[in-house]
């Protein structure tokens, strides 16, 4: 009787009006979201030097017009070749192309200088075998050579069978191969490219679409470029994927009570603060992936150890930044050792942090393997 009255799994259950609560990961402390609680007790410091430094760094990082043109040219040529292959399916029989799209930093406008790589995702109608990818690569290269025999083109297969890349002297286009959704289930790991990689390429398309719609603000783009540079310079940030950085930058710039884009230097500091406060730690709500269903938190793609590493690097850098080490953090001076060695800023000793993550004891079977599911249940596993 009671069971019937109470219902099952319904939102209202139990005596005393106990509300059903599922495990909701919490967002970490973010001072920008609770500014009213922290009125300024002292005047805000002058942030102009930081701002100037960031803008300078951004200028340094942005690709020159020549570079942009070079990449654009190569991308356009390859796109033309791929289009031809799509409209005349009979001419090339190793595979059939469904469509191709530009993705990644080139598409998003967050390219960095000296990294003239544009990404193009090619969706195959056929199943993506390694042979097909190679044949496609050769075909595209062949046609490019026919168009402009003067160009020195190099075709190389990408590691992990992601696809192939075609580079000339100035630019590189990576052609990432994937297949249509319905084919994903038919894949045979022995013959075809890795399903995870294929899915990641499909996700890349969604990401660039999302980016176009949501993250077109230049502050975000500048911030992404700076963060990528940060990631490249500090080893501890290695696990952060470009997509995580995109989302983090978007979050830092846009997610504030006023919903107005924050200035780059604030957002830059905020990124470090968020990471330091454990935005990408287990138990944190992190950032939900807008391109995946089911509320997937982006940082769960990292292993627990990586999450620890990212967090501690951010924490050390934040302290260095706060004590006046902005030039080193931004990369105008010094090197990456500030994240790992003890440093002295204006008489204050900033010491690096130790790792907190420990390999779980053996009683938890198979836990280190599936990091994705792991941290979600961190709180639950003991219960």
Partner 1 sequence: MAANNYFGFTHGGTQYGAAAAAAAGAAAYQATPAAGYAAVGHTPAAAATYAAQRATTAYEAAAAYQPAAATSYAATASSAPTYDYSYTRVQTYDNAAKTAAFYPQPTSTSFSAAADPAFQAKSSTTYTAGYQNAAARPAGQASKTYNYPAAGAAQSYTYPNQAAAAATANKNYSGYDAALYNAATLYVQQQAHTAPKGAGTWKASRPGVGAAIGQKPKLKQPPKPQQLHYCDVCKISCAGPQTYREHLEGQKHKKKESAQKQTAGTTPNAPRGGNSLRCELCDVTCTGSDAYAAHIRGAKHQKVVKLHTKLGKPIPSTEPVVVPGKSTTTTAKTGAAATTAVTKTTEVTKVVATPKINFVGGTKLTTTTPTASAAAAGTAVKEEPKEAAAAAAAPAAATAAAPAVARDDTVAVAAAALGEKEVEPVGQEYIEEIKNEEGKVVSFNCKLCECRFNDPNAKEMHMKGRRHRLQYKKKVNPELIVEVKPSLRQRKLQEEKLRRQQMREEMWRRREESAMDDEERIYWEERRRYEEEMEYFEWCRRGAGRGMPPFGPMGPMGPRFGPIPPMLRRPDSADDRHVMAKHSEIYPKDEELNAIQKIVSNSEKALKMVSDDIAEADAPKKDDGTATESKDEDGKELPRTLKGVMRVGVLAKGLLLQGDADVQLVVLCAEKPTRTLLERVANLMPKHLATVTPDEKYALKLSVEQASLIITNQTEPQINVTVTLTSPLMRDGAADEPTASKDPPDVLDKQKCLEALAALRHAKWFQARASGVQSCVIVIRIMRELCQRVPTWTPLNTWALELLVERVVASAGFPLAPGDALRRVLEAIASGLLLPGTPGLIDPCEKEPVDTLSGLTAQEREDITASAQHALRLMAFRQVHKILGMDALPPPKFNRGKFNRKRRRDNSCSGENGDSEGGDGKKDKKEDESEAAKADAK
Q: Does residue 9 interact with partner 1 by CB under 8 A? A: yes
| Region from 59-67, 259-267, 329-337, 350-358 binding partner 1, contact rule CB under 8 A | 350-358
Q: Which is nearer to partner 1, 49 or 170 (CB)?
A: 49
Residue with tokens 């393997």: 369
What is the distance of C-alpha 144 from the center of its chain?
31
Choice from 249, 311, 330, 336 touching partner 1 (CB under 8 A): 311
Stretch that binds partner 1, among 52-60, 103-111, 122-130, 169-177 (CB under 8 A): 122-130
Q: Which stretch binds partner 1 (CB under 8 A): 24-32, 77-85, 107-115, 332-340?
A: 24-32
Q: Is 161 in contact with 193 (CB distance < 8 Å)?
A: yes
Decide: is 21 part of the binding site for partner 1 (CB under 8 A). Answer: yes
Residue with tokens 């990471």: 275
Q: Which of 131, 127, 129, 147 is nearest to 82 (CA)?
A: 147
* Cβ at position 290, least distance to partner 1 in Å: 21
CB of 222 to partner 1, least distance (A): 21
Residue among 229 and 308 whose Cβ is closer to partner 1 = 308
Q: How many CB atoms lie within 10 A of CB 259?
A: 7
349 binds partner 1 (CB under 8 A): yes
Query: For residues 36-75, which are near partner 1 according to CB under 8 A?
Result: 36-42, 44-45
Shortest distance, position 145 Cβ to partner 1, whole Å: 19
At its nearest, how many Å lie between partner 1 and the CB of residue 273?
A: 4
Out of 118, 127, 198, 245, the only residue in the binding site for partner 1 (CB under 8 A) is 127
Contact with partner 1 (CB under 8 A) among 111, 144, 304, 329: 304
Verify binding: residue 86, partner 1, rule CB under 8 A.
no
**∠ at Cα 202 (231, 375), nearest 5°?**
55
Beta strand 117-124 with 97-103 is antiparallel
Contact between residue 259 and residue 241 where contact means Cβ atoms under 8 Å apart:
no
Applying CB under 8 A, which of residues 83, 93, 235, 341 lies at the interface with partner 1? 93
Site for partner 1 in 328-347 (CB under 8 A): 346-347
Query: Could you say which residues in the range 140-169 bind partner 1, by CB under 8 A?
Result: none
Tokens at residue 273, please?
A: 């603060």
Q: What is the C-alpha to C-alpha distance for residues 287 and 293, in angstroms, rounded to an integer?
A: 13
* Partners of 178 in beta bridges: 123
Evaluated on CA atoms 226, 227, 230, 232, the torsion sign reads: negative
How far is residue 308's CA from residue 236's CA, in Å, rounded to a whole number? Answer: 9
- Residue choice 357, 368, 371, 376 for contact with partner 1 (CB under 8 A): 357
| Residue 258 interacts with partner 1 (CB under 8 A): yes or no | no
Q: Give the span between the Cα atoms of 155 and 14, in whole angstroms.
A: 65
Cα–Cα distance measured from residue 348 to residue 344, given in angstroms and rounded to the nearest whole number:
5
- Minimum CB distance to partner 1, residue 224 (Å): 21
- Chain positions 195 to 254 lying near partner 1, rule: CB under 8 A, are none
Contact present, 245 and 251 (Cβ < 8 Å): no
By CB under 8 A, is residue 259 in contact with partner 1? no
């Amino acid at each position: 009787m009671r069971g019937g009255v109470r219902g099952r799994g319904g939102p209202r259950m139990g005596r005393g009006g106990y509300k059903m609560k599922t495990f909701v990961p919490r967002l970490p402390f973010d001072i920008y979201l609770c500014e009213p609680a922290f009125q300024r007790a002292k005047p805000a410091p002058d942030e102009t030097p930081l701002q100037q430094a960031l803008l300078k760094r951004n200028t340094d990082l942005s690709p020159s017009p020549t570079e942009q043109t070079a990449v654009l040219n190569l991308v356009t040529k390859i796109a033309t070749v791929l289009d031809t292959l799509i409209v005349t399916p009979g001419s090339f029989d190793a595979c059939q192309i469904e469509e191709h799209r530009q993705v990644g930093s080139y598409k998003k406008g967050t390219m960095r200088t000296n990294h003239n790589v544009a990404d193009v995702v090619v969706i195959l109608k056929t199943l993506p075998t390694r042979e097909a990818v190679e044949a496609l690569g050769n075909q595209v290269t062949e046609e490019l050579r026919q168009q402009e025999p003067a160009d020195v083109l190099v075709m190389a297969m990408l590691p992990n069978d992601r696809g192939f890349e075609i580079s000339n002297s100035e630019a590189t286009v990576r052609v990432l191969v994937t297949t249509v959704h319905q084919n994903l289930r038919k894949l045979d790991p022995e013959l075809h490219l890795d399903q995870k990689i294929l899915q990641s390429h499909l996700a890349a398309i969604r990401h660039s679409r999302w980016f176009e719609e949501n993250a077109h603000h230049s502050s975000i783009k500048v911030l992404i470029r700076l963060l990528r540079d940060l990631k490249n310079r500090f080893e501890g940030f290695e696990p952060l994927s470009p997509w995580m950085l995109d989302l983090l930058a978007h979050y830092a710039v846009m997610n504030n009570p006023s919903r107005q884009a924050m200035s780059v230097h604030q957002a830059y500091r905020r990124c470090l603060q968020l990471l330091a406060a454990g935005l990408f730690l287990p138990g944190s709500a992190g950032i939900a992936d807008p391109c995946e269903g089911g509320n997937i938190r982006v940082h769960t793609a990292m292993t627990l150890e990586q999450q620890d590493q990212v967090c501690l690097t951010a924490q050390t850098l934040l302290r260095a930044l706060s004590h006046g080490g902005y030039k080193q953090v931004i990369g105008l001076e010094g090197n990456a050792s500030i994240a790992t060695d003890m440093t002295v800023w204006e008489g204050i000793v900033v010491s690096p942090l130790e790792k907190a993550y420990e390999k779980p004891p053996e009683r938890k079977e198979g836990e280190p393997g599936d990091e994705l599911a792991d941290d979600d249940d961190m709180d639950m596993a003991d219960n």
